[in-house]
Amino acid sequence: MTAPPDNFSTDKSRSSACYASAAQSAGFLRAGDKYRRDRMDAADMLSIEEAAEVAGTSRNEIEEWIKSHRCIAVFDRCRQYKLPRWQLEPNVWNVLQSLTSALCATDGWQVLVFLETRALALGGETPRTALEQGVNAQRILALATAEAH
């Protein structure tokens, strides 16, 4: 019988290096909370009322879009929703529902982070930038599908 490769070592002293300590985990959570707060406060984020005005629709319609995952809406601990303004641009708007499905996303943060994270498959651009620059939506959807699996 051969020994397992190093990345599958059964040596318990090595296995603890695969996990974050409690202090590291707390630090990661704090960083995530800060990211969310900062992103919610960014200049491109709209309230439901502001989004309705920009989209030329009602608050109720925006709330329906949120419930049906038709748009990206993120919320803080107080359930105050914010929506990124740029999603209302046609090159992004027309692919949002398909993108949410491809990502198997259950909340707006998943879609927002995907769209704003640089991808090697896009030459280091974000999927959002690629869509805004006219990259074929099918390419972005394929990337989202791969990301979800």
pLDDT value of position 16: 60
**Does 4 fall in a domain?**
no
* Mean pLDDT for the stretch of residues 38-43: 93
Residue 117 CA to residue 119 CA, distance in Å, equals 6
Using a cut of 0.85, tell me whether the model's pTM lies above it: no
Task: Give 101 or 80, the one with higher predicted confidence.
Answer: 101
Lowest mean pLDDT among 15-29, 57-71, 81-95: 15-29
Q: Is residue 40 part of a domain?
A: yes
Is the pLDDT confidence value at 76 over 90? no
What b-and-e string marks burial along 16-49, b requiring 16 or more CB atoms within 10 Å of the CB? Answer: eeeeeeeeeeeeeeeeeeeebeebeeeeebbebe
The two three-digit tokens of residue 78, written as one number: 């107080």
Most confident of 29-33, 58-62, 72-76: 58-62
Is 98 a residue whose pLDDT tops 90? yes
Q: Give the number of domains in the chain.
A: 1
Confidence band for 12, pLDDT divided at 50, 70 and 90: low
**Is residue 16 one of the residues assigned to a domain?**
no
pLDDT digits (tens, 9 = 90+) for 99-140: 999 999 999 999 999 999 999 999 999 999 999 999 999 999
Residue given tokens 């909340």 in the structure block: 107
> Is position 27 within any domain?
yes
Is the residue at 104 inside a domain? yes
Domain assignment present for 130: yes
Mean pLDDT, the chain, as a whole number? 88
* Domain residue limits at 130: 22-148
Whether 14 is covered by a domain: the verdict is no
